[in-house]
Amino acid sequence: MKLKTIAIATLIAITSMQALSDDSLSGRPYSNATTLDTNLPDLGDVSQTVFTPLDEQRIGEQIMREVAVSDEVVQDVEVIDYLNALGNRLAAASSDKQQKFNFFVVQDNSINAFAMPGGVIGVHTGLFLAAKSESELASVLGHEIGHVTQRHLARMLAAQKYDMVKNIAGIALALLVARANPDLAQGALTTSAAVGVQNQLDYTREHEREADRVGLQILSNAGFDVRGMPAFFTTLQHGSRFSEGGAPSFLRTHPLTGERIADVTNRVEQMPYRQVPSSIEFQYVKAKLQAYHGVVETNIAVFEQNIRERRFVSEPAEHYGLAVAYLRKNALAQAEKEIVWLKKNAPAHAMVENLSAKLQVAKNNPQAAGKHYETALKIYPDNRGLNYGYAEHLLAIKQADNAIKLAKSQQRLYPYDAKFYEVLASAYTMQNKQLLGHQAQGEAYFRKYDLTRAIEQMDLAVKANDGDFYQRSIVEARLKELRRMQDSDKKP
């Protein structure tokens, strides 16, 4: 899975980061209603006729299919939900209210982010750790969203003479292998098409300037500190001192020129001053990623030193990160001590409650864990992290009925969440309900953009010997629908 995922991630780590993007369906240049002067050349709209929004959607779904099963993608729901909340807040402040986005986190220490066809935007864990404030992180997402809404990627691909829709995945794989391992470049770039695309997907100054300006306006509209963008430029420049091979990955794909820095800095100086503190969610997510990064003993030592020397932006975040690191090490007594500190000294938060419940699970205390989840969910009933944890707990203690009840209640809030269908599949299997189990697993695969496996499971549901007439009718109709979708996808 690693090679495929990285491959997909290159379609734009090459392209994306370059112009990283995915796009607004309008294809029209961004129009500033404020005092900011975009004053950019007309980049044209040829992409609409060569690389359509439907093409982008199909490629985006293919990418998300790889993301769903990749070992290189962070699957932690608290991290995912935070990034999507931040990304969607910024997207809502853009000029295109119709474009849908999917954000995900790549387990990679490099300072990087990228956009892909279909509104898919990836962020490396290294970027989270490098960002000194939430506004810095938001400035990068705003920049990527700017590439998307301006259709930069689609325009670049449309300029090619190749059948990008059919060959893009293979070309992306070749380019990715070449970038990740230069020794394999000769074998990977076996086609002239791949070489040609690599040569053509170079960022243009116009694209970068436009993404900066649009991203800056998005940042302001969303209520963040616009100084986060020039501040992050400084972070990138400093990053070149410790990054392997020179400049951070983001700089290699998004060239940072003096002109860009000056342009953004001048614009920021003309905008109203706004001091925006980073949210506690940002601090907790960053601490959590740090706790899982590298050697756990080193992380524990760093958190402890920061607390001892009072060298931190957020004291609760340091204690939270230390608790996560201790739990990772299975040092349960020490983890509990940090959680007690958080409950006494920090504002109540769902992430702290989830960590506390996980501690009880790790201590093999199912009764205490169950009570903790129940109490926390009364306060945070819609929190996916708590609901995931409680569902897994219920399955572990063989309470299939309660797991089914929980999953169905959450499906009303998160109809596209594959996890709750997987919970249903496990619970029904536990009850030896074959039809319902295969049906639920099929719906889970469908939400992971895997039509082939979804059809396989729904076919097994149809062939199951149990289930009443109503249930069999539902799975038969669903199977026909999925097969129609599969046939439609195969059409050119």
Q: What are 275-289's pLDDT values in tens digits?
A: 999 999 999 999 999
DSSP for 170-235 reads HHHHHHHHHHH-GGGHHHH--SHHHHHHHHH-PPPHHHHHHHHHHHHHHHHHTT--TTHHHHHHHH
CA distance 323 to 307: 12
How many Cβ atoms from other residues are within 10 Å of residue 300's Cβ? 19
The predicted model scores a pTM of 0.82
pLDDT of residue 250: 54
CA distance 389 to 385: 6
Residue of 268, 351, 390 lying closest to 85 (CA atoms): 351
- Choosing from 219, 237, 269, the residue where a domain stops is 269
pLDDT of residue 159: 59
- How big is the chain by its Cα radius of gyration, in Å? 24
340 within some domain: no
Q: What is the 3-state secondary structure (H, E, C) of 403-470?
A: HHHHHHHHHCCCCCCHHHHHHHHHHHHHCCCHHHHHHHHHHHHHCCCCHHHHHHHHHHHHHCCCCCHH
- Below-70 pLDDT ranges, the chain: 1-51, 156-204, 238-257, 491-492
Which one-letter amino acid corresponds to residue 365?
N
Name the residue with tokens 């050697």: 295
Domain of 457, in residue numbers: 403-492
In b/e form, how buried is each residue of 314-345, taking b as 16+ CB within 10 angstroms? Answer: bbbbbbbbbbbbbbeeeeeebbbebbebbeee
pLDDT of residue 449: 87
What is the domain-level CATH number for residue 438? 1.25.40
Could you give the C-alpha distances from 146 to 142, 205, 478, in angstroms and in order?
Answer: 6, 14, 38
Overall size of the chain counted in residues: 492
35 within some domain: yes
- Choosing from 269, 288, 310, the residue where a domain stops is 269
pLDDT of residue 312: 95
pLDDT of residue 262: 87
Is 421:415 a contact under the CB 8 Å cutoff?
no
Q: Which two tokens stand for residue 436?
A: 């319902």
167 within some domain: yes
374 within some domain: no
Q: Which two tokens stand for residue 413?
A: 């809030």
Which one-letter amino acid corresponds to residue 290?
Q
Residue of 87, 126, 117 lying closest to 103 (CA atoms): 87
Q: Which two tokens stand for residue 153?
A: 């990627």
**Which backbone phi and psi does 115 adopt, to 5 degrees?**
-115, 155
425 within some domain: yes
pLDDT of residue 253: 56
How many Cβ atoms from other residues are within 10 Å of residue 466's Cβ? 13
280 within some domain: no
Q: Which two tokens stand for residue 161?
A: 């003479």
CA distance 147 to 112: 15
209 within some domain: yes
For residue 279, what is the DSSP state? P
- Continuous segment of H or E residues that includes residue 40: none
CA distance 180 to 203: 19
For residue 435, what is the DSSP state? H
pLDDT of residue 255: 61
- Choosing from 254, 269, 284, the residue where a domain stops is 269
288 within some domain: no
Domain count, the chain: 2
